[in-house]
Chains A and B, each alone.
Chain A
Amino acid sequence: SQELEQSPQSLIVQEGKNLTINCTSSKTLYGLYWYKQKYGEGLIFLMMLQKGGEEKSHEKITAKLDEKKQQSSLHITASQPSHAGIYLCGADMGGSQGNLIFGKGTKLSVKP
């Protein structure tokens, strides 16, 4: 079963609009990691959240982890074409080897 659900699967927004991507787990997470991937390329690390209620921002991207540490959101303000790509959340479920479980990703397109 899919342990980490991302929504939406894909998103098309007009340049300048705000958007939110969600990542939900049925289990409490030890850590939540957001990555961005351009087609056919590797994952670029964006942000790491480890504490319940934690919020981090970098430029126009803000990520939050809820108090229960089961849900995270990634919010982009005033989207730009450079924000286009696939956003993946990865979660540390507490395995002994630090394995990350990933969601299927959200494909973001930004129309000029």
Chain B
Amino acid sequence: ETGVTQTPRHLVMGMTNKKSLKCEQHLGHNAMYWYKQSAKKPLELMFVYSLEERVENNSVPSRFSPECPNSSHLFLHLHTLQPEDSALYLCASSQDVRTQPQHFGDGTRLSIL
């Protein structure tokens, strides 16, 4: 139990569907992150939030839309995804953006049909 909970654990969706991934942290951290993990590739940082404000966006396609309503919750809204978007999406949190280590959730395994 890392204190970071992601739901759902698995998601299968068509390319025209709209769905959302949810992340919740119970650690009192101020920074939250979305990562993408594809087979045989390093973890790719997608978004960074600090106190609900987005501070980093690593050239992620607009079909991925993050939302951070408060410092404990982070969402990733998905719309019109492509087959190459199938991956494990990991959420992480840390005390602040310059504080390590990051604590990870178990991820959402996303499959695009």
Partner of B42, one of A41, A48, A102: A102
B96: chain A residues at CB < 8 Å are 98
A101: chain B residues at CB < 8 Å are 42
A2: chain B residues at CB < 8 Å are 42
Chain A's interface size range is: 20 to 34
A42/B42 contact (C-beta < 8 A), A97-B48, A98-B98 known = no
Give the Cβ gap from B42 to chain A, nearest Cβ, in Å: 5
Partner of A98, one of B6, B94, B104, B109: B94
B59 within 8 A of A: no
User: Which residues 86-112 in A have Cβ within 8 Å of B in the complex?
Assistant: 88, 90, 92, 97-105
A92: chain B residues at CB < 8 Å are 100
Cβ contact within 8 Å between B31 and A98: yes
A100/B102 contact (C-beta < 8 A), A2-B42, A4-B42, A42-B2 known = yes
Closest 6 interchain pairs by CB? Answer: A42-B104, A102-B43, A43-B104, A42-B106, A98-B98, A98-B97
